[in-house]
Structure 1
Amino acid sequence: MTRKITFLGGAGTVTGSKYLLSSGGRRILVDCGLFQGLKQLRLRNWAKFPVPPGSIDAVILTHAHLDHSGYLPALVRDGFKGPVYASHGTQEVCGIILPDSGMLQERDAEFANKHRFSKHSPALPLYTADDADKSLKHIDPIPFDRRREIGPDIAITLRRGGHILGASIVEVDFEGRKLVFSGDLGQFGDPMMVDPTLIEHADYLVVESTYGNRKHDSLDPEAVLLRIIKDTTERGGTIVVPAFAVGRAQTLLFHLNRLRKAGKLGQVPVFLDSPMATDATDLLTAHPEDHRLTAEECRAAFSIARIVRNPTESKALTADPMPKIIISASGMATGGRVLHHIKHYVVDPNSTILFAGFQAAGTRGAAMLAGAESIKIHGSYFPVKAHVENLSMLSAHADADGIMRWLKGFRRAPVLTFVTHGEPTASDALRHRIEEELGWRCVVPDHMQRATLD
């Protein structure tokens, strides 16, 4: 039997992570992510899955972000019947993220049909909230650092990745070969999240390269955040922060609370307008093993925000002219309540749209940070007159130096390292650096490329 890996996603892009292991008719899928960003990538979500979903024996999730888990409802709906292995934290975060994704897709389709701006008649969701609920029943949680047999001569072990709650580095013992999937690696020394676990051995390694060609800004995030808040509120403007509901929203609240406790923030109100982020904040408190904060520190940090409970409150918040900070999902401004806030404030030269991390190509976030003069939301164009800034140092991803630090934990070189989950320039830059500094054999796989694991 010949072991193979096929890159069904996450190759040449930071989204759509899907890695298919196969041998002798058995198939294991590591990650099951949505493609996001550029239209030609998003169209892949609607294409027929490369193999019959019912032929896949099991799915393993590194973590719950949609670019790693968001296709799971469609996979189950289309015939996948096996178990989905993930950490307990990932199971709980998926329980928030996936139904929310289905609900938003239903709402977006309904909104598009109502206002007739879709090219499809009728516009349809990729999947529904009900599809998402059904997919959650397949998740079988396993503890960190405990080997789990999932089939004849196949076992998995999850190690902490430090990226978000429940994030895992996945070790797969696959018919006599050890494969390691980095998932998304967190930053070493992050004030909230634990460091990524160092791994000593892999025959084959699949490593992310989101920031493979960049280093995070070394500026103090609280100093930069305070400067932006002061400048904006003194102009009478509002700060709108598109933030990933799991991880980034909580990190922002943590820093804002520290600024307020230090007497630097004043009384500018902070609003958390994301039901999913609110639920995720509660989960962080319930899983102290995945981060550095005590339950008391969590409650104190997250109490700074006023919770926006429903769409009516959200609309009233947008209409209120007082200077304020609004944290709302999604982090790349691809959907969710934040779009309604952006539509209102992006045309205001006194306000600021503040991003807090990586923005994938083809997203509104990437466009605004690149200096777009206008952005399209719900079928209409809005001029970008607001200030646009980015707290790149708050990224939940390790930068190039952080990835290299993690790689140096291996005691010997893998037979082959696959560099994935990055824009082409980032992946190739990391490949070059690994070859030059570590002397390892590396490749940057193409989408749908298949490789033999000897």
Structure 2
Amino acid sequence: MSITVRFCGAARTVTGSSYLFQTASGRFLVDCGLFQGQKTLKELNYGGFPFRPADIDAVLLTHAHIDHSGLLPKLVREGFGGPILATRGTIDLCSWMLPDAGNIQESEVAQLNRRNAARGRKEVEPIYTQADALATLQSFRPVDYERWIDVMSGVRARYWNAGHLLGSASIELEFADAGATRLLRILLSGDVGPEAKLLQPDPQAPSDLDYVISESTYGDRVRAVTTPEQRRQHLATEVRDAAAAKGALLIPAFAVERTQELIVDLVDLMERGEIPAAPIFLDSPLAIHATEVFRQNATSLDQTVDVSRLLNSPHLKFTETVAESKAIMRLSGFHIIIAASGMCDAGRIRHHLKHWLWNAHATVLLTGFQANGTLGRFLQNGTKAVRIQGEEIRVAARIRMIDEYSGHADGAGIARWIAARRPIARGLFLTHGEENAIAGLADRVAERILPAAKIYQPMLDDVYELSTPEPRVLDVDHRRRLAPEAVTRLDWHNEMSELMLDINDRVAAAADDRARGVIIRRLRRALQENG
């Protein structure tokens, strides 16, 4: 029996997670995520799927993060009619996250169309609407951890707690020949949480597999060993420094899990008197609803933390409406704003960055992975100016990074997780990482844990035959949506933005109007010569 997997996303990039499995019995997806980051990748969200949605029999969802679940409403709208199998925690979070994503897409497209109308350009349609997302929720079906479920004839699955997020899972697949003989056992990691993560247990998963498909987000990095108290003290230091600067502390954070972890530690530090007491504005409707989901699921979280009490602190201020969000901008002095998105690519954090980035009294504290081409990555890399919604903003605020709140294991942690899955008979696929991260993890794993010849680094839309003694890549060049190099390098949109900033800097630094005129004339000649 032939079994193939197509890497429809999260191949040499950390977004768009989606894996298409095909057997004689049918087709199913593991994850159906939104592409984020540079515009070349995001444009894939607007194009067609590399398969017919109506041909998909089921979706197995590892967790609720939008880069894993965010294209489900489009899948349903375009003809998918099967079940979406997920843990109860994932379903609870998706019930807020997917409608929120649809609402964001509608509002951002409305703003874009106003600009397009002014420029004489065509209108665009949102990827999907809030109504599409609400309709998708009817397709979810709950599964329990560590219990086998039938996916289709000859295929069953078992979910294991991945320790990454409320409800997150690694998914074990077992393929049988005519329901009698075990043919293949495959484990997809999903996103693997770090050891000793706040609120979540350590990752769990089986061993003795034919294939492992592993994430590699931080595959080339090793964090210093830290304890929960050391993590809190690092956060306390950053908060005290921000308070001393007498400006806002902006924390771009993923609305789910990262935000709740930060709130728990910030409130705890304030109650202990280790940081100045200040209002913590949670400026994200999604994060507010997600916080309520965490309260409701407190018994399934770390029992050493009083989650319910800390998430009900009087220091915490919810700003759900646009008017409440705008009112925060009238504040001066030290206060804390937590808002999505975690990579600064969408959501209300962009408005706060526009308001504060130019101000040397402000602090921006990045708390998680910043994908290539995102505003967060440019800030992390020390850019001197950025463009937000078409407006140039000089960066004078302090840009700081704290990595201890990451929801992903580092390179050493992932390697230990992979080692614990042995024996791995046929191969290890490294996905959900940028090229350097994948290469770093491959170097760490090769020979010490698994022979280098058994480690594979698929590209977007690669199809592998899995039922052969060794995995065999099939010819799909004519079906690739993007050239491999287009996935990994910064696209022309990013280069154009950097060029505009460089031109403005060079013109502004010129000695006088005559020198500025010389620069402009040279640019015009260059355009004419290459026109």
Give the TM-score normalised by the residue count of structure 1. 0.96
Distance verdict in 2 for CA 1:254–1:54, change over 3 Å: same
Matched, 1:145 2:152: no
Distance 1:278 1:216 in 2: 30
**1:191 to partner: Cα distance:** 2.9
Separation in 1, partners of 2:255, 2:198: 18
Deviates more, 1:62-71 or 1:432-441: 432-441
Paired residue for 2:219? 212
Deviations 1:278-300 (A, max 9, x none): 11111112224542146843332
- Give how far 1:25 is off: 6.0
Matched, 1:347 2:352: no
Q: What corresponds to 1:430 in structure 2? A: 441
Tell me: CA distance 1:103–1:86, structure 2 relative to 1, closer, same or farther (3 Å): same
Structure 1, residues 254-300: CA drift from partner, whole Å, max 9, x if none?
11122112211222221111111111111112224542146843332
What CA deviation, in whole Å up to 9, does each residue of 1:117-157 have, x standing for no partner?
88952132111101111111111111111111121111111
Question: Which residue, 253, 257, 263 being the options, matches 2:267?
Answer: 257
The aligned amino acid for 2:208 is: H
Q: Look up the match of 1:439.
A: 450
Report Cα offsets for 1:355-383 as digits up to 9, x if no partner: 10101111100010011122221121211
User: Equivalents in 1 of 2:67, 2:381: separation in Å?
Assistant: 22
Secondary structure of 1:393's aligned partner? coil
Aligned residue in 2 for 1:185 = 192
Q: Work out which of the residue numbers 295, 304, 327 in structure 2 matches 1:285.
A: 295
Distance in structure 2 (CA, Å) of the matches to 1:396 and 1:310: 28
**How many equivalent residue pairs?**
454
3-state SS of the aligned residue for 2:291?
helix
Tell me the equivalent position of 1:39.
39
Correspondence for 2:48 = 48
CA contact (8 A) 1:288 1:295 kept: no
**Letter aligned with residue 84 of structure 1:** I
Query: Are 2:211 and 2:424, in contact at CA under 8 Å, matched by a contact in 1?
Result: no
Residue 70 of structure 2 is matched in structure 1 by: 70
Q: 1:144-183, aligned counterparts within 5 Å?
A: 144-175=145-176, 176-183=183-190
Which is further off, 243-252 or 224-233? 224-233
Separation in 2 of the partners of 1:156 and 1:234? Answer: 53
The aligned residue for residue 452 of structure 1 is 465
Give the distance between the partners of 2:141 and 2:5, measured in 1 at CA. 23
Q: Structure 2: which amino acid aligns with 1:442?
A: I
Alignment correspondent of 2:201: 194
Give the corresponding residue for 1:234.
244
1:221 to 220, 231, 238: 231
Q: Which amino acid aligns with 2:150?
A: E
Change (3 A) 1:423 1:302: farther
Distance 1:420 1:344 in 2: 37
Query: Displacement of 1:390 after TM fit?
Result: 1.2
Distance 1:9 1:118 in 2: 33
- In structure 2, stretches of 5+ residues that fail to align are 177-182, 468-531
The secondary structure found in structure 1 opposite 2:8 is strand
Give the SS at the match of 1:240: strand
Matches within 5 A, 1:18-417: 18-24=18-24, 26-116=26-116, 121-175=122-176, 176-218=183-225, 220-288=230-298, 290-293=300-303, 296-303=306-313, 304-417=315-428
**Farther-moved stretch of structure 1 (218-227 vs 389-398):** 218-227
Show the counterpart of 1:13: 13
185-194 or 156-165, larger mean C-alpha shift: 185-194
- Point out the more displaced range, 296-305 or 211-220: 296-305
Single out whichever of 223-232 and 369-378 deviates more from structure 2: 223-232
The CA RMSD measured in Å over matched residues stands at: 1.7
Distance 2:63 2:367 in 1: 20
Residues 201/118 of structure 1: CA separation in 2 closer, same or farther (3 Å cut): farther
TM-score (norm 2): 0.83
- Residues in 2 aligned to 1:313 and 1:59: alpha-carbon distance in whole angstroms: 38
8 Å Cα contact 2:5-2:19 kept in structure 1: yes
Which deviates the most, 64-73 or 114-123? 114-123
Query: How far apart in 1 are the matches of 2:119 and 2:206?
Result: 47
The aligned amino acid for 2:218 is Y
Structure 2 distance, partners of 1:339, 1:283, is 25
Matched letter for residue 157 of structure 1? R
Q: Separation in 1 of the partners of 2:13 and 2:299?
A: 31
CA deviation map 1:30-89 (0-9, x unaligned): 000011101211111122111110001111110010110001111111111111111111
Give distance in 1, aligned partners of 2:48 and 2:318.
40
Q: Given that residues 199 and 305 in structure 2 are in contact (C-alpha distance below 8 angstroms), is that contact kept between their aligned partners in structure 1?
A: no
Equivalent-residue separation in structure 2 for 1:254 and 1:261 (angstroms): 11
Separation (CA, whole Å) in 2 of partners of 1:317 and 1:288: 30
Note the C-alpha offset of 1:408: 2.2
| CA distance in structure 2 between the aligned counterparts of 1:439 and 1:297, rounded to whole angstroms | 40
Counterparts of 2:191 and 2:121, CA distance in 1 = 34
Q: Percent identity?
A: 36
Gaps of 5+ in 1: none
